[in-house]
Structure 1
Amino acid sequence: MKKGGARRTWSLRARLLGGGALWLLAAVGTTHVLLGWAIDETLERTFQDRLVVDLESLIAATDTRDGHLVMTRDLSNPLFERPFSGWYWQVAHGETLLRSRSLWDETLNAQTPVPAGALHVHQENGPGGRLVQVVERDILLPDLAEPVHVMIAAERETVEQDSRHLRTLVALCLGGLALGLLGAVTLQVAFGLRPVRRLGADLDALRARPEARLSPDQPGELAPLARALNAVLDHDADLIARARAHVGALAHGLKTPLAILTAAAGEGPTVPAATVQAETRTMTRLVERYLARARAETGSGSARGVRVAVLDAARRLQAPLAALHRRDLDVTVEGDESAFFAGDPDDLMEILGNLMDNACKWANTRVRVRAAWAGEAGDLVLVVEDDGPGLADHDHARALTRGARLDDTVPGHGLGLAIVHDLVALHAGTLDLGRSPLGGLAVTLRFPPPGVSRARGTA
């Protein structure tokens, strides 16, 4: 671990190579163990079979003549003729003892087979104290009343040497194979991670060319990442472009009231209060308008996936709005309790606050907020209506224009519906202005289900 308790993060290359090396080591180790076992088993079986064949040859060459044991022929293995060669035979009957030249003046220790006549295998110290493996049995020959004990022995050192030699050879071969496979894995990892390195290089290149985008020609595993990064880059570029446009528009909008104030100041030592108030009110509307739009456009996507209960949010505004307008208003909140807004809670409160505040300004006695699910897709429909004078059809478009005020006797900056329109559009929703059954204006908002997008605008 690094200082401060931070966990070390391994690179993809290190993880892949480390994992491949571990699996390769386990596979090679297991193979070496299994092959070693197979080698030992094969050598032991071959060694034992050879001893049994020599024993049968010895039995075939043993006979009697005039009641005495004799060897009718020599065994084919020349090692039986070389003293202390490691291969020995012995035939015993009572006091009579026949043995191979290789035994010289040594003898083998006979053990009575159990059961009698069966093949018996054991190990003992032979000539020179070397360990030998013995196969022996009793046989019956004509003219002899007692059985004849026949033995073949061979030193185990030969088998053990062969085993060590083959195990060493297998280890070298497996080691070479492991190194070759590790090299192949290294090349494969390098080839497989090449698109990742290329993607990293493309990301670094974006610093020099912010307008560039990642190539869509990516492997299937990286294509979603490239698309997501391009979407983020497009979103950021759009935000920057909008911010520049807002700054430019705000600067352009402030030029006129500033020019009026400058001209008025040049006409005399004092500027009429009405002129100052009118122009500062205009500048205030412009500043609030663009601040609201900037907050809406940069903050609407920050809480995607959050579900806000619409009716609960509306109920939180009932008492404050009634106290604000100081009138005996009947503010009703009704609808489907399961209705929720998928987005930033502040955006929903901004929408409801502006619409309910606007309705309370114009209502005579009643304001109603309704929320429900509608349509096959399950759109959220939110309606805020009042029993006020309403709005003529030809004033609908003007009501959504920034800074527009249809009645100067009612306080405000003419920004409420315009701000709501911007927020609704940012959430891919639609806004309708119409006549309420209560007699006044009905503002109907419609939002698509989470994860569904459509063209922004006003229905």
Structure 2
Amino acid sequence: MIRSLRVRLMLAAALLALLFMLALLPALQKAFSLALQESIEQRLASDATTLISAARIEQGRLQMPDQLPDERYNLPYTGLIGYIFDRDGKLVWRSRATADRDINYQPRYDGRGNEFARIRQDNGEEFFVYDVEVKLLGGKSAAYSIVALQPVREYQDTLEGLQEKLYLGFGAALLALLVLLWAGLTWGLRSLRRLSVELDQVESGARQGLSGEHPRELLRLTGSLNRLLHSEREQRQRYRDSLDDLAHSLKTPLAVLQGVGESMGHGSGEREQARVLQSQIERMSQQIDYQLQRASLRKSGLVRDRVLLAPLLDSLCNTLAKVYRDKHVAITLVVPAQAEIPMEQGAALELLGNLLENAYRLCLGQVRVSLSETPDSLLLCIEDDGPGVPTDQRERILQRGERLDRQHPGQGIGLAVVKDIIDSYDAQLSLDDSPLGGAAFRIVFKRG
């Protein structure tokens, strides 16, 4: 299937032009043929007139001069064929060019005065004939038929030459037309190319909407797209506000319950109940975070956000360094200062926060974050020098509630949140062994 609009229009226009020329060609050939025959008729009529002007009647007999006014009649190889017949159809004069020809022709006295016809000989040779009936000196007995002939072969050669030139002319015209059509389509589709560039800029976040500098035929489309973009931004903002309100409403009661559980834990008899309460409150809190994060995820639409990676990593690493200050983790960041990833800031914080917290918690003392770029993708890699993940367990830990580390509290939903975020942005997550000795989480973002 042809996916290029310009190629489709070009093929359609070329097909229509070819069909038009094929339909026009027979009409032009017919017109050329009629014009050529009319020209032959006029020339033969002129030749017959030359013979009539030279004819004389002396003592009731036709007399023709030895040298005719038209020199072509006086030469044997000019191809100028002329005959004169009397009223009885008897040949009384012939031109010198007919000396080696035996043309079978009988004049017709039908009162028409002159006749232009095409005759065919027994040997297949054809001639154009112009026959004029004249009554020299007004006498009835002095009626003659003046005949001028021309071989059809000359007409056919001329017509074939014209047809060949016509084919070449039509071919050149079609080629020139295709070049002009291609140039015209290229110029005409520049507006669509400009619209595509603006959509790419909107998608990358370089502009907020489409401009109004487009042809009238596209203004309705650009207006609809701008309204869609505005609606999408408003809807995203409403989602964020609603999620923030929900989080605030749920977090406060959970904090109160957690405080009550800590108070209950001071009594020896209630310690077990307090531990169960604290565990359930922590699980509820993590589940709320997980469900809020899932609700805020969406497939990338017309607007794609981009966020600087280095500032996010600095902020997260500073926070985690305080949480794990007794571990003295050495963090290595191999990230260009202006590098961006195609994500919303909130989603990027959740993604990097879960992966870095996992790396800080499980490492022995080293964590490395690197970003590499190719023309088609971005590769973000988070590594640690911890125990790593066995090959047969790598798929399982990405599922909700699955954990390999049982020494630290948690419900095993951090990596599930990570996978949901990555899936929502059409990225790819893989888990490998790191050169540092632990696990390496590799995330591949496709360039838009």
**Short-chain TM bin:** 0.5 to 0.7
2:209 match: 213
State the alpha-carbon separation in 1 of the partners of residues 29 and 233 from structure 2: 66
Shift of 1:17: 0.8
Q: Secondary structure at the match of 1:110?
A: coil
1:54 match: 47
1:202 match: 198
Picking from 176, 180, 195, the partner of 2:176 is: 180
Picking from 34, 38, 52, the partner of 2:31 is: 38
Asked if 1:67 is matched to 2:63, the reply is no
The amino acid of 1:25's aligned partner reads: L
Is the 8 Å Cα contact of residues 90 and 100 (structure 1) preserved in structure 2? yes
Shift of 1:247: 2.1
Is the 8 Å Cα contact of residues 92 and 149 (structure 1) preserved in structure 2? yes
1:101 match: 96
Q: Secondary structure at the match of 1:184?
A: helix
Picking from 231, 234, 255, the partner of 2:251 is: 255
State the identity %: 26
Shift of 1:124: 3.2
TM-score by length of 2: 0.54
Is the 8 Å Cα contact of residues 91 and 97 (structure 1) preserved in structure 2? yes
2:220 match: 224
Shift of 1:88: 0.7
State the alpha-carbon separation in 2 of the partners of residues 218 and 117 from structure 1: 72
For each residue in 1:24-52, what CA deviation from the matched residue of structure 2 results, as whole angstroms up to 9, or x when unmatched?
Answer: 11232233322222211111111011111
For each residue in 1:90-135, what CA deviation from the matched residue of structure 2 results, as whole angstroms up to 9, or x when unmatched?
Answer: 1233666211111115444332415146323333357996421122
Shift of 1:84: 4.5
The amino acid of 1:266's aligned partner reads: E
State the alpha-carbon separation in 1 of the partners of residues 80 and 153 from structure 2: 11
Q: How has the CA–CA distance of structure 1 residues 53 and 210 changed in structure 2, closer, same or farther, with 3 Å as cutoff?
A: closer
Gaps of at least 5 residues in structure 2 are: 299-448
Shift of 1:232: 1.9
Q: How has the CA–CA distance of structure 1 residues 201 and 57 changed in structure 2, closer, same or farther, with 3 Å as cutoff?
A: same
| Aligned pairs (5 A) from 1:139-154 | 139-142=134-137, 145=141, 147-154=143-150
More displaced stretch, 12-21 vs 184-193: 12-21
State the alpha-carbon separation in 2 of the partners of residues 103 and 9 from structure 1: 66
Is the 8 Å Cα contact of residues 60 and 142 (structure 2) preserved in structure 1? no
Is the 8 Å Cα contact of residues 118 and 128 (structure 2) preserved in structure 1? yes
Q: How has the CA–CA distance of structure 1 residues 135 and 258 changed in structure 2, closer, same or farther, with 3 Å as cutoff?
A: same
Asked if 1:189 is matched to 2:182, the reply is no
Shift of 1:241: 1.8
Is the 8 Å Cα contact of residues 202 and 214 (structure 1) preserved in structure 2? yes
Picking from 128, 146, 158, the partner of 1:133 is: 128
Q: How has the CA–CA distance of structure 1 residues 251 and 64 changed in structure 2, closer, same or farther, with 3 Å as cutoff?
A: same
Is the 8 Å Cα contact of residues 199 and 210 (structure 2) preserved in structure 1? yes
Q: Secondary structure at the match of 1:145?
A: helix
For each residue in 1:313-371, what CA deviation from the matched residue of structure 2 results, as whole angstroms up to 9, or x when unmatched?
Answer: xxxxxxxxxxxxxxxxxxxxxxxxxxxxxxxxxxxxxxxxxxxxxxxxxxxxxxxxxxx
2:235 match: 239
TM-score by length of 1: 0.52
Q: Secondary structure at the match of 1:154?
A: strand
State the alpha-carbon separation in 2 of the partners of residues 233 and 144 from structure 1: 101
Q: Secondary structure at the match of 2:106?
A: coil
Is the 8 Å Cα contact of residues 116 and 130 (structure 2) preserved in structure 1? yes
The amino acid of 1:145's aligned partner reads: S
| Aligned pairs (5 A) from 1:242-321 | 242-269=238-265
Two-structure CA RMSD over aligned residues (Å): 3.6
State the alpha-carbon separation in 1 of the partners of residues 91 and 109 from structure 2: 22
The amino acid of 1:102's aligned partner reads: A
Is the 8 Å Cα contact of residues 117 and 139 (structure 1) preserved in structure 2? no
Asked if 1:11 is matched to 2:4, the reply is yes
State the alpha-carbon separation in 1 of the partners of residues 72 and 57 from structure 2: 25
Q: How has the CA–CA distance of structure 1 residues 122 and 74 changed in structure 2, closer, same or farther, with 3 Å as cutoff?
A: farther
Gaps of at least 5 residues in structure 1 are: 1-7, 299-459
Q: Secondary structure at the match of 2:41?
A: helix
Q: How has the CA–CA distance of structure 1 residues 242 and 103 changed in structure 2, closer, same or farther, with 3 Å as cutoff?
A: same
Is the 8 Å Cα contact of residues 2 and 8 (structure 2) preserved in structure 1? no
